[in-house]
């Protein structure tokens, strides 16, 4: 049960700035996700909170108390490491039991046994308790590490990609399980991942990090529907969002994709663009926000060619070449299309996001406040 705060955390490794002025606050019992590409500094943030890395500047607070000078063991933090960090000479049982046998969190062996079995059955590794970590698979090691973390009732759980190495089916299962456990445990959790689906499904709030900087902190809806900049937009979602330049003709009319005719942008968007005096505008459209047809159904449809067709089970990623601009869109999985077929696409302007072409920051989208449920 704890509130975690980071103030102006800066950390350098030699000349490389791993963390650049990181600020955030995690509420008590919140499930907070740190999301970013490899090398973004996610793990360093976790280790800073745990106290095993020291910030060059800044302050870590747990429950309003500065813990910069508190050693890791005394912070009462439980962590899952990305490389599992299991004790190679101890069995799975002893690994999970380890926190409860330490001087700080001592329990009698009776309780230890009960707790280990409870956690092991939750992690579905109860048949492996006698084995050494070297004798189980990677997924099982990861679950052992997770078990060792969950067996305690600490201030905060820190989880560094705890389910990244599981196979897909188990990962989906564990994701649901983690979500449920979190509401059951009522414990603050900080969770690191590079999988946007994990981030969106688990996180109460998500912080998107790149190159040691926080780009955006918000709920899943906020970061998905109104990403702070193009990087966030591209990083969230599959297939990658389509972003390309458009030309402003006047306040509401734009030209795009080398077409003769003009397209109308929504009034509320036009207003924000005008107020912000943005000159160069880019438009962002997710795979769902472009309709397609094999016939030119009306004026709005733009002609293009099928560039590639990639069926991925329950849907198909269709890439369409429109005047040299490749557009990725989601199609039903029964789609019949051949490469270089003629195809027509329609941009759903109501769903479009708008970015500034100079600094790549997010500007606005139609009906933004209604979408996010704010006034």
Return residues touching another protein (CB under 8 A): 47, 50, 52, 71-73, 77-79, 81, 83, 85-89, 98-99, 102-105, 148
Cα separation values, 322 from 124, 325, 347, Å:
50, 5, 12
Provide the minimum distance between the beta carbon of 121 and another protein in the complex, in angstroms, as a whole number. Answer: 21
Instruction: Collect all residues with Cβ–Cβ distance below 8 Å to 210 and sequence separation of at least 6.
Output: 36, 37, 40, 231, 235
Cα separation, 38 vs 40, in Å, equals 6
Provide the minimum distance between the beta carbon of 42 and another protein in the complex, in angstroms, as a whole number. Answer: 15
Provide the minimum distance between the beta carbon of 75 and another protein in the complex, in angstroms, as a whole number. Answer: 8
Q: Of 134 and 298, which CB lies nearer to another protein in the complex structure?
A: 134
Provide the minimum distance between the beta carbon of 160 and another protein in the complex, in angstroms, as a whole number. Answer: 9
Under a CB-based contact definition with an 8 Å cutoff, are residues 369 and 375 in contact? Answer: yes
Q: Angle at which helices 138-150 and 168-185 pack, to 10 degrees? A: 0
Q: Of 72 and 237, which CB lies nearer to another protein in the complex structure?
A: 72
Count H helices, E strands: the chain? Answer: 10, 21
Of residues 85, 93, 82, 94, the one with CA closest to residue 46: 82
Q: Of 135 and 264, which CB lies nearer to another protein in the complex structure?
A: 135
User: Going by DSSP bridges, is the β-strand pair 4-13/156-160 parallel, antiparallel, or unpaired?
Assistant: unpaired
Under a CB-based contact definition with an 8 Å cutoff, are residues 225 and 214 in contact? Answer: no
Q: Of 100 and 233, which CB lies nearer to another protein in the complex structure?
A: 100
Q: Of 134 and 295, which CB lies nearer to another protein in the complex structure?
A: 134
Provide the minimum distance between the beta carbon of 145 and another protein in the complex, in angstroms, as a whole number. Answer: 8
């Amino acid at each position: 049960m704890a509130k975690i705060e980071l103030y102006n955390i800066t950390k350098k490794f030699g000349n490389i700035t791993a963390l650049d002025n990181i600020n955030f606050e995690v509420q008590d019992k919140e499930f907070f996700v740190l999301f970013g590409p490899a090398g973004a500094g996610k793990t360093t943030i976790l280790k800073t909170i745990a106290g095993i890395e020291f910030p060059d500047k800044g302050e870590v607070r747990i429950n309003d108390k500065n813990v910069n000078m508190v050693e890791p063991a005394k912070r009462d933090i439980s962590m899952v490491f990305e490389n599992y960090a299991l004790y190679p000479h101890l069995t799975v049982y002893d690994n999970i039991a380890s926190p409860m046998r330490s001087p700080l969190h001592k329990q009698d062996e009776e309780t230890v046994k009960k707790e280990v079995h409870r956690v092991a059955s939750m992690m579905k590794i109860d048949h492996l308790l006698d084995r050494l970590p070297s004798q189980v698979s990677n997924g099982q090691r990861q679950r052992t590490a997770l078990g060792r973390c969950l067996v305690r009732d600490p201030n905060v759980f820190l989880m560094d990609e705890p389910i990244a190495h599981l196979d897909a089916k188990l990962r989906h299962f564990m994701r649901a399980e983690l979500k449920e456990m979190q509401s059951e445990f009522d414990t603050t959790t900080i969770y690191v991942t590079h999988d946007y689906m994990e981030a969106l499904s688990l996180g109460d709030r998500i912080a998107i990090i790149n190159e040691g900087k926080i780009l955006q902190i918000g709920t899943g809806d906020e970061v998905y529907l109104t990403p702070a900049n193009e990087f966030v937009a591209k990083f969230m979602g599959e297939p990658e969002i389509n972003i390309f330049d458009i030309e402003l003709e006047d306040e509401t009319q734009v030209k795009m994709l080398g077409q003769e005719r003009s397209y109308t942008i929504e009034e509320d968007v036009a207003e924000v663009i005008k107020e912000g005096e943005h000159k160069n505008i880019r438009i962002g459209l997710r795979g769902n926000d472009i309709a397609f047809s094999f016939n030119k159904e009306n004026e709005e449809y733009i002609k293009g060619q099928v560039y590639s067709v990639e069926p991925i089970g329950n849907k198909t990623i269709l890439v369409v070449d429109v005047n040299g601009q490749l557009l990725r869109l989601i199609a039903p999985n029964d789609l019949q299309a051949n490469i270089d077929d003629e195809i027509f696409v329609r941009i759903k302007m109501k769903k479009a996001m708008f970015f500034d072409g100079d600094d790549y920051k997010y500007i606005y989208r139609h009906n933004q406040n209604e979408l996010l449920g704010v006034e």
